[in-house]
Amino acid sequence: MTVATELIGQMDKIVPFGVTGCVSRIVGMTIAVAGLPVPLGSVCRIRTGRGGSVPAEVVGFSDEATLLLPHADVDGVRRGDAVELVQSNPTVRCGERLLGRVLDAQGRCIDGGPPVTLRECRPLQPPPVRPMEREPIDRPLETGVRVLDGMLTIGHGQRIGLFAGSGVGKSTLLGQIARSSSADVNVVVLVGERGREVREFIENDLGPEGLARSVVVAATGDEPAVLRLKAASYGTAIAEYFRDQGRDVVLMMDSVTRFALAQREIGLAAGEPPATRGFPPSVFAKLPRLLERSGRTSRGSITGIYTILVDGDDTSEPISDTVRGVLDGHVMLSRRLAERAHWPAIDVPASISRLMPMLASADHLSAADHIRRVLAAHRDAEDLISIGAYQNGADPLVDQAVRCEALLRDFLCQSISESTPAEETRRYLATLRQRLELVGRVASAEPNNPETEREAT
């Protein structure tokens, strides 16, 4: 009886097939349809007079009209063309066979391989996880990147953002994490990327080793906004499937900014007024819903790593500011460091992992905090140092940074192909702190003796 009741409840949510309407007008890319009583988010099909069809999605309503945005070009669509319902409750097909495959926003394989047959179905937009069903995040995720594991420790189920302008190394860092992390499965969602960059990311950054345990969902920048928006939900639904199978999943999305731009395009087309810097209110409503789908439950975890493009390296613009308030930490990539061939170009003093105090041991946290203070002091005195106006002994932390610059750089810099185990990173961090403190003591005792400074370093 319980199963039957549940099935009836699910069927009640589905609008019956056979619901039709007709095109009444087209303004830009927005198609107004008369006589189509279907819910928001439904997928429909427009039958053109030439015998073809154009898939489209319901994005809003205006008076008696249902507003659709197409998944393809609207060439050939005319007033009076029939519109029929295809799916009122969009779902995602999932399964183990997705591993190693590249999909588009509609679930079709685009890697040249054979199509996959999947039996498991999941809703594209499931109900949110209740707060009390979320497990505490108490296990660190090993990324293989020293500066992340040592200075910005991430936990299984944490959500963290990579903030940077274009061309600073976000995609390369994502590929390095995908190859080296301790997660069971990677789900990589590429939203609004250039067409050539999708293949370059898969072949150069992800590589065969990373792809073997990954699912890639791609919607390029030349695809309609509804598909770019759908790719983010589609990839997140796949991550939720593997999480519910008991896996530790890393969900990487590049980028949240292009997701927001796609929603802005849809919102404005549906008649929403622009609110903040041209973004309609629906953008700021959808961002938390998307980001909150990551996290840890009693079954598994989804660690969300989201990239955010900052306009002109301005981290206070609306999307960056909103996302930073939702996530559990932020990693700032610096163009200044990238220009110095400092890889990864992570600005440690400007970055933070809010969960690191709960994930790292007391010794680990103490060493990381000391190195963070040294780096921050060096940045504050950088102008004085560069013109030779800094006086030795004026600040013990600056003295340590200047005399141990090579040691700090060796720890913070790491080649793209290199992966460092987390335990080795922690030992390296402890040793680096000891050397910094030794140099500080020597500099305080004999500030102008180069021989003792050389002996300490």
- pLDDT tens string 193-241: 888 889 989 998 888 888 999 999 999 999 999 999 999 999 999 999 9
Is 290 strand, coil or helix? helix
pLDDT value at 1 more than 80:
no
Compute CA distances 203 → 167, 180, 196, 211, 212, whole Å.
18, 16, 11, 9, 12
Place of tokens 């305080």: 444
Compute CA distances 114 → 92, 97, 200, 267, whole Å.
18, 11, 21, 36
Tally the residues of the chain.
Answer: 457
pLDDT at 362: 95
What's the rounded Cα separation, in Å, for the pair 140 and 158? 9
Instruction: Enumerate domains of the chain plus CATH numbers.
Output: 17-89 (2.40.10.170), 92-357 (3.40.50.12240), 364-444 (1.20.1270.330)
Nearest to 204 by CA among 173, 231, 172, 227: 172
**End-to-end Cα spacing for the chain:** 75
- Torsion angle defined by CA atoms of residues 247, 153, 432 and 418, in that order, rounded to the nearest 10 degrees: 50
Nearest to 216 by CA among 204, 230, 199: 199
pLDDT at 317: 83
Categorize the per-residue pLDDT at 423 as very low, low, confident or very high, splitting at 50, 70 and 90: very high
Is 57 strand, coil or helix? strand
Is 411 strand, coil or helix? helix
pLDDT value at 63 more than 90:
no
What's the rounded Cα separation, in Å, for the pair 201 and 290? 23
What's the rounded Cα separation, in Å, for the pair 97 and 115? 10
Compute CA distances 235 → 43, 70, 156, 216, 260, whole Å.
18, 21, 18, 8, 16
% of the chain beyond a pLDDT of 70: 92
What tokens appear for 26 in the block? 């087209």
Categorize the per-residue pLDDT at 388 as very low, low, confident or very high, splitting at 50, 70 and 90: confident
Please compute the mean of the pLDDT values over residues 165-179 and round it to a whole number: 90
What tokens appear for 420 in the block? 């460092």
Q: Which of 102-106, 227-231, 251-255, 378-382 shows the lowest per-residue confidence on average (mean pLDDT)?
A: 378-382
Q: Which of 151-160, 184-193, 415-424, 440-449 shows the lowest per-residue confidence on average (mean pLDDT)?
A: 440-449
% of the chain beyond a pLDDT of 90: 62
Please compute the mean of the pLDDT values over residues 245-265 and round it to a whole number: 95
pLDDT at 117: 86
pLDDT at 165: 85
Percent of the chain as helix, strand, coil, to the nearest 5: 40, 25, 35
pLDDT at 7: 52
What's the rounded Cα separation, in Å, for the pair 219 and 222? 8
Compute CA distances 431 → 325, 346, 360, 427, whole Å.
35, 21, 17, 6
pLDDT value at 34 more than 90:
yes
